[in-house]
Every structure is written in C-alpha cells, then in structure tokens.
Amino acid sequence: MRSMKLDIIKGVPGIQGKKVSLFKTKTPGLVKFQAGLTLTVQKTVTNIAWEHKEGRSAGKAAVGAAAGGILAGPLGLLAGAAIGGKKNEISTAILTLDSGEQLMVRMTAKEYEALHSWL
C-alpha cells in the first residue's frame, strides 16, 4: 500500500479538516500528508500508538431487521438484523511527528500495518 485516506479526529497545524491522504515516500518515516485539494506537507512520523476497537451499530441492525421482516417474514427479520448489525472497526491511531505534535486518525488494522512498514 503506497497511500491511504483516513478520517481526522484531531489535527495539527497544516493538517486539518475531516480527511487526510497519506503517501509513502522513499525516505523511511517521511510521509506526505494531503488535507483538502491542494495543501500538501511532508512530516516525519516517529511513532504510532494504535488502539483497536470493534463495534456494532444497533441502529443499522434495527433497520436491517425491519426491512428483512417486511420483505421475507421472520427469517428475513433475523437475517436483516445479522447483516445490519455486522462488526465495524473503529480503531484509532495517534501519529507522533518529529515536531512533537500528535495527529489522531481513524485507521483499520490493515492501514496500521502498512503505515508501520513505512517507518
């Protein structure tokens, strides 16, 4: 993986907004960040702290159960709840930059492994 797009939870000066794209560079640890359409900065990531979490959406399970129940009866109710309430990953990572600033983003396990290999 040479690039990834992540949700920003807490930005740092120069990396603000809702989304940030990260691009691998040839220099280990040096990452190109693009927030928005034109703003691009290069920063060295010195550490990544990652917290893995999974959750289920009760709202989506309820909607899936209702739709399944209407369309296919009792069995559809169960299937709709199972599909609507599937697990979703809501893990977060704190990227420590060489300046000491910390950028907090949402990240999957696959993205974490890829970014960790860039360091």
The more confident residue out of 7 and 16 is 7
26-72 pLDDT, tens per residue? Answer: 999 999 999 877 778 999 999 999 887 765 455 555 555 555 556 55
Kindly state the tokens that stand for 53: 């979490």
Say how many C-beta atoms besides its own lie within 10 A of residue 62's C-beta. Answer: 14
Residue 74's contacts (CB-CB under 8 Å, 6 or more residues apart) are none
**What is the C-alpha to C-alpha distance for residues 89 and 99, in angstroms, rounded to an integer?**
29
pTM of the model: 0.68
Kindly state the tokens that stand for 116: 């960790």
Kindly state the tokens that stand for 103: 């950028």
Give strand pairing partners of 109: none
**What is the C-alpha to C-alpha distance for residues 78 and 60, in angstroms, rounded to an integer?**
13
Residue closest to 91 by CA, chosen among 45, 47, 46, 55: 55
Residue 46's contacts (CB-CB under 8 Å, 6 or more residues apart) are 29, 96, 97, 98
Residue closest to 89 by CA, chosen among 64, 76, 108: 108
Q: Hey, is 60 helix, strand or coil?
A: helix
Confidence of residue 25 (pLDDT cuts 50, 70, 90): very high
78-99 pLDDT, tens per residue? Answer: 555 555 555 666 789 999 999 9
The more confident residue out of 105 and 83 is 105
